[in-house]
């Protein structure tokens, strides 16, 4: 309880108007899924994209590929760290070697730890492919800094945010009509297998020079509108939340193992469940079980239906569509996540 109160007091402080100054770290690299995607899926053949109205209705540039009415969590974390503009998506960094020194966002809607996750939606950039994209960026940074040693020193000072795993449940384990994983593994086994695969991928990131790595636990997936509707429930689906918490418990332990086994590693676990357990009505959010926009019931099920007006009172909603937070909810989650980052900033 005391820890939760501390988090919410810090959130209240961080939600004061942002003042951009010198970034607290030289660079920020972002990996994950649609919670962090800022345009990497726009040109993919996939249903998992958000480059159309009403997404972006409150974003200055309109729809950009963010699964939100405005900024997403990654945008706000970058702001809290002092960056004056969003970290660019990998899809837009083809030629600007100066820009990539600030960092790159590789996140992709429908992506998972497992390569097959999300396949029924079309193309997506799995975590393994995001790491391959990062390797090309590391090569470009090495070329620009003129030595592997200089690049390694630079990259070791960056913060790396990794928020992935939700789709390995939503678009894999909880979808037995498309995936065999729920037959092959019980919930405990699946959580273990996921964390084992995650561990191997994180070691690749470490071998590419990452040292300060923040791993986001999964939120209460059983409480998102899409899962409530999918199960025909009146509230949170406890079975889903229990399954997801098994992954979180394993991830917390994995952080300890990685810090023990990898020299100079600073992995931290961000407890998203704890961050989201406060009372959102304190910040004016009173609708927590329904989406703000009209969601599609056919293709891209659970995402906003194209070109239909969303709710007017968006600041009162926790969810913009069936899966993703509104801008205000994303800012709250990002502020809570930021309270975990000071050990990586020192």
- Residues marked active site are found at 34, 321, 324
CA 49 distance to own-chain centroid: 15
Sequence-distant (6+) residues with CB within 8 A of 260 are none
d(C-alpha 232, C-alpha 229), whole Å: 5
d(C-alpha 208, C-alpha 163), whole Å: 18
User: Tokens standing for 54?
Assistant: 């009403």
Q: What percentage of the chain's residues is helix, strand, coil (to nearest 5)?
A: 45, 10, 45
Residue carrying the six token digits 């009505």:
281
**DSSP assignment letter at 305:** P
Residue pair 110/40 in contact (Cβ under 8 Å)? The answer is: no
């Amino acid at each position: 309880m005391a820890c939760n109160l501390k988090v919410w007091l810090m959130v209240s402080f961080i939600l004061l108007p942002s003042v951009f100054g010198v970034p607290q770290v030289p660079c920020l690299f972002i990996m994950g899924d649609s919670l962090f995607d800022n345009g990497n899926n726009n040109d993919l053949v996939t249903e998992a994209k958000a480059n159309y109205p009403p997404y972006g209705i409150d974003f200055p540039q309109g729809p950009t590929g963010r699964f939100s009415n405005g900024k997403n969590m990654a945008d706000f974390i970058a702001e809290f760290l002092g960056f004056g503009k969003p970290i660019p998506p990998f899809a837009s960094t083809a030629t600007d070697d100066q820009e990539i020194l600030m960092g790159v966002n590789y996140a992709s809607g429908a992506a998972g730890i497992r390569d097959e996750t999300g396949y029924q939606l079309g193309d997506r950039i799995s975590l393994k492919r995001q790491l391959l994209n990062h390797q090309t960026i590391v090569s470009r940074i090495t070329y620009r800094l003129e030595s592997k040693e200089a690049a390694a020193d630079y990259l070791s000072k960056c913060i790396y945010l990794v928020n992935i795993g939700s789709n390995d449940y939503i678009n894999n384990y909880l979808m037995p009509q498309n995936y065999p994983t729920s037959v092959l593994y019980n919930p405990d086994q699946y959580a273990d297998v996921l964390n084992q695969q995650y561990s191997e991928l994180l070691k690749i990131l470490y071998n590419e020079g990452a040292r300060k790595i923040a791993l986001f636990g999964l939120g209460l997936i059983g409480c998102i509108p899409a899962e409530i509707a999918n199960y025909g429930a009146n509230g949170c689906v406890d079975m889903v939340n229990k399954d997801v918490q098994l992954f979180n418990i394993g991830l917390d332990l994995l952080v300890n193992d990685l810090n023990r086994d990898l020299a100079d590693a600073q992995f931290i676990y961000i407890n998203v469940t704890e961050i989201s357990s406060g009372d959102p009505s304190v910040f004016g959010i009173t609708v927590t079980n329904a989406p703000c926009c009209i969601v599609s019931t056919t293709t891209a099920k659970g995402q906003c239906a194209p070109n239909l007006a969303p709710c007017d009172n968006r600041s009162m909603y926790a969810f913009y569509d069936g899966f993703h937070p509104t801008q205000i909810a994303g800012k709250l989650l990002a502020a809570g996540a930021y309270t975990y980052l000071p050990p990586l900033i020192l």
